[in-house]
Structure 1
Amino acid sequence: MENLIENGTFISQVERPNSSLPTVIVIGGGISGLAAARRLHDASFKVILLESRDRLGGRIHTDHSFGYPVDLGASWLHGVCNENPLAPLIRGLGLKLYRTSGDNSVLYDHDLESYTLFDKEGHKIPQQMVIEVGDAFKRILDETEKVRDEHTDDMSVLQAIWIVLDRHPELRQEGLAYEVLQWYICRMEAWFAADADMISLKSWDQEQVLSGGHGLMVQGYDPIIKALAKDIDIRLNHRVAKISNGPNKVMVTVEDGTGFIADAAIITVPLGILKANLIHFEPKLPQWKVDAISDLGFGSENKIAMQFDRVFWPDVELLGVVAPTSYACGYFLNLHKATGHPVLVYMAAGRFACDLEKLSDESAANFVMLQLKKMFPNATEPVQYLVTRWGTDPNSLGCYSYDLVGKPGDSYERLRAPLGNLFFGGEAVSMEDHQGSVHGAYSAGIMAAENCQGHILERLGYFDKLQLVPSRGEIHDAAFPLQISRM
């Protein structure tokens, strides 16, 4: 360690690599950063991973305070198939998946076959009405394609829905059916973690969803995080304040003034952190990169997980509450069906998720219990509850990226593009429209590591000495099937 004055600023300590191996600093200990670090570590690079939190995982957070794992961040695997880049890890670790939807689910992580809806007074809504309104909603969304084709300028999905309903009075819903339609819009908003008036009509359905439907990680995502982190040099509670990118070296300075010098850096912090300019770049980021950061949306979704002493709700995967606006609708994921534990998870997205964060944990839990008690008058008080605050969490400032109205077509490419010795990972830069997914974040980390490695080897002329090797400990043999259940 040594002291250093850089550009007139006193840097308290500098950690220089005492190794002849090429060195990379990975910023962010979510799955993308861990995937990048793992790939470079296994290719004999010296890797230092800096994470601002006191834990790994980032927007993956498996909590054990109920006595068993509950995912408070990402919880689904989108694409329960061998083509999923996470499949080898999941198989190798023997993790179980609970499938909540089949192949045809582009918009929801549930087929909506196993669910029950209630009105605000707690009356159960006839399933026939729910199915009919669901069919009407699909037809409305199909009609929005025509609206998209007629307009050169982008608009929000919600605006397009209103245009369709103006043209097709037969698709309009009245009374209770209208409230059910609002619930379907609420579920669509949950997929993007954003309100329908913010989501791009041009891009909303362009996502490439892998086959196999969607599956909940029964043991949580934590075992994958632990496996990727094995033997990596990880520094927790290291919040990066500044990144100085020179012609041959990168210097990364953390909040306490300590500097780390390396051949390159991979930045995998959430888009919300880049949007808030919480990291100072020297030289400044070029305008095209700044524009890419602002052109993309960053949504918010929160969970209120409630543990009960007994199950008082029906054996369905999803419980919903309908209302006159999508904002006022709500839904609960029944973890008992997937894991056998008496837990309901209330989920809120978009503006409603942000507004929930203004309440205390106790007030948020009371709000949820009021809804539950209308649906189930015999509902007991929760034994314990957990409330997330992803939107105001200083390490994330939101959940995952989505396509804002008017987003230029090359925004993701610009966000992904390297800058000299700086490479970008994270879910927002994933290829093939897998943004917002864990496997997308993982793939983006692998891709950033491979690009970074190629850049360094070319610059240092190391081509013969180092080659990329598959991650140690990963099992790639497809003979190990994915363990999938559906009760």
Structure 2
Amino acid sequence: MESNNPSTCEDLSRAAGSFFAHIDKKPSPPSVIVIGGGISGIAAARALTNASFKVTLLESRNRIGGRVHTDFSFGCPVDMGASWLHGVCNENSLAPLIRVLGLKLYRTSGDNSVLYDHDLESYALFDMDGNQVPQELVIKVGQVFEKILKETVKVRDENEDDMSVSQAISIVLDKHQNLRQEGLAYKVLQWYICRMEAWFAADVDTISLKNWDQEHVLTGGHGLMIRGYYPLIEALAEDLNIKLKHRVTKIAQRCNRVIVTVEGGTNFVADAAIITVPLGVLKANLIEFEPKLPDWKTSAISDIGVGNENKIALCFDTVFWPDVEVLGAVAPTSYACGYFLNLHKATGNPVLVYMAAGRFADDLEKLSDEDSVDFVMFQLRKILPLATNPTRCLVSRWGSDVDTLGAYSCDLVGKPADLYERLRAPVENLLYFAGEAASVDHSGSVHGAYSSGLLAAEECRKNLSRRYGISDFLKVVFREEMTEIMVPLQISRI
């Protein structure tokens, strides 16, 4: 419900309306405001709407999806944010919906791939002189890298204090000289470190040794959404009450109600709110809370890291590159390494996507779109001298985008282990939190964001139902409806 300026309990009652219009009439359904129109917010709004709650979703952008953003300007879908389904299996919370919608996946890796990523046989790595790195060397260095990572676990066990993965790798290499690499092999090792940084969207010298391998990775490998993520977002959002271009500036708790203020001064009043804005937005204090959030909540917001990853998508007239999933450039440092995702392999469209993470992603955002594309094309021509000019280009800027201020969460050195639980926990049973950073087991993933939205909606539903004495029979969750239809996942590997 909208209001202009409810400042007292009496004003609030007039603005929000009584929960019961008359004592002898049917009560109005509980009302919830969902803040943020990414997949987490849409999942929460979907579940509560299906449970007959009155739901208003406020989204600051002029589109839904948040960091899940499929662009169609090339004439084909290109995901400029999230693009993989991590865990192509029935245990993935998104699997039922993907099956029912008939969305096809292209599997890029199995369960045993290095760092949960692409299979080695579909790499083509080059040095900066355009010479392809022998596949035998790529595989050999990959095996060495896995041994190094296993040795870092011993370093963790031997040290009570946390340290960065980079520091642990240095300790391992000092102790095990046989794992050191020289020449071209050293550059390939840096490329593997570059790929590790891409997984976490953060530099290896900031990643926590204690927590880097504690993520619960689902089985089934990883797959690209061939048609992009938008069809899934669109299906979840159907018929929801979504208000675009409504940037929230303040969230107040008064008289067992929540007042949400957007730019321009309009207020929305409800029984509870589910906050799904990206962690970077919370860190920047772009939303004022009244009263202020408790210390246990603000410290969680402060201590969870936010990484950055960006994409520069290039559309070409013809395909001039090898038929592999990833083209990589090796270099003396992980910062100088680079790689392109080949969408032609997965989707048949002549598109390469350059991907950058961590400080390198931050530095790319300091360039104009034109300069960013020029840099990427310079990199591409280093490894493929006959590369033609792209016909169209797209550049993401998740780190400086005021609606995100980062790509996704990561574990920083020396921080407590319960941060994600604290970020997820409700405040006064009025404010609920969801999003990828509020997913205890699957942070940084689309299915983690989706599941956290469902969990927040269910907690909100239970508490409001108890508050107003509503029967539990209203419980309807979208995911539960979809699991009844067991259509197999459509997976290809070209």
Report the TM-score, using the length of structure 1 for normalisation. Answer: 0.96
What CA deviation, in whole Å up to 9, does each residue of 1:150-207 have, x standing for no partner?
1000000000000000001100011111111100000000000000001000000011
Change (3 A) 1:17 1:51: farther
**Any idea what SS the aligned residue of 2:40 has?**
helix
Aligned length: 482
Change (3 A) 1:119 1:17: farther
- For the pair 1:348 / 2:356, whether they are aligned, the reply is yes
Tell me, yes or no, if the aligned pair for 1:108 and 1:188 is still in contact at 8 Å. Answer: no
Tell me, yes or no, if the aligned pair for 2:4 and 2:267 is still in contact at 8 Å. Answer: no
**Any idea what SS the aligned residue of 2:474 has?**
coil
Match of 1:482 in 2: 489
Match of 1:131 in 2: 139
How big is the shift at 1:463?
2.6
Change (3 A) 1:313 1:17: farther
How big is the shift at 1:109?
2.6
What CA deviation, in whole Å up to 9, does each residue of 1:457-487 have, x standing for no partner?
11111135x5212429953245310000001
Within 5 Å, give how 1:287-302 maps onto structure 2.
Answer: 287-302=295-310
Change (3 A) 1:116 1:249: same
Q: Distance in 1 between matches of 2:368 and 2:268?
A: 39
Q: Distance in 1 between matches of 2:329 and 2:210?
A: 30
Tell me, yes or no, if the aligned pair for 1:17 and 1:261 is still in contact at 8 Å. Answer: no
Q: Distance in 2 between matches of 1:350 and 1:44?
A: 43
Which of 96, 102, 110 is the equivalent residue of 2:110? Answer: 102
Which of 31, 35, 39 is the equivalent residue of 1:31? Answer: 39
Match of 1:46 in 2: 54
Match of 1:323 in 2: 331
Match of 2:23 in 1: none
Question: What runs of 5+ residues in structure 2 fail to find an aligned partner?
Answer: 20-26
What CA deviation, in whole Å up to 9, does each residue of 1:239-284 have, x standing for no partner?
0000001241000000110000000000000000010010000000
Match of 1:427 in 2: 436
What CA deviation, in whole Å up to 9, does each residue of 1:419-445 have, x standing for no partner?
0100000000113x2000000000000
Tell me, yes or no, if the aligned pair for 1:16 and 1:262 is still in contact at 8 Å. Answer: no
Q: Distance in 1 between matches of 2:197 and 2:317?
A: 32
How big is the shift at 1:76?
0.2
- For the pair 1:407 / 2:415, whether they are aligned, the reply is yes
Which of 217, 220, 223 is the equivalent residue of 1:209? Answer: 217
Question: What runs of 5+ residues in structure 1 fail to find an aligned partner?
Answer: none
- For the pair 1:113 / 2:121, whether they are aligned, the reply is yes
Which amino acid in the other structure matches residue 475 of structure 2?
A: L
Match of 1:145 in 2: 153
Q: Distance in 2 between matches of 1:452 and 1:292?
A: 21
Q: Distance in 1 between matches of 2:279 and 2:33?
A: 19
Q: Distance in 2 between matches of 1:447 and 1:5?
A: 30
How big is the shift at 1:17?
9.1
Which of 168, 174, 177 is the equivalent residue of 1:160? Answer: 168
Tell me, yes or no, if the aligned pair for 2:116 and 2:221 is still in contact at 8 Å. Answer: no
Identity rate, percent: 69
- For the pair 1:437 / 2:445, whether they are aligned, the reply is yes
Tell me, yes or no, if the aligned pair for 1:14 and 1:258 is still in contact at 8 Å. Answer: no
Which of 248, 252, 273 is the equivalent residue of 1:244? Answer: 252
Q: Distance in 1 between matches of 2:245 and 2:17?
A: 19
- For the pair 1:259 / 2:267, whether they are aligned, the reply is yes
Q: Distance in 1 between matches of 2:308 and 2:423?
A: 20
How big is the shift at 1:103?
1.5
Match of 2:22 in 1: none
Which amino acid in the other structure matches residue 439 of structure 2?
A: S
Tell me, yes or no, if the aligned pair for 1:82 and 1:478 is still in contact at 8 Å. Answer: no
- For the pair 1:306 / 2:307, whether they are aligned, the reply is no
Match of 2:190 in 1: 182
Tell me, yes or no, if the aligned pair for 1:17 and 1:23 is still in contact at 8 Å. Answer: no
Higher alpha-carbon deviation: 272-281 or 470-479: 470-479
Match of 1:270 in 2: 278
How big is the shift at 1:5?
5.3
Change (3 A) 1:57 1:14: farther
Which amino acid in the other structure matches residue 4 of structure 1?
A: N
Within 5 Å, give how 1:54-73 maps onto structure 2.
Answer: 54-73=62-81
Q: Distance in 2 between matches of 1:363 and 1:262?
A: 47
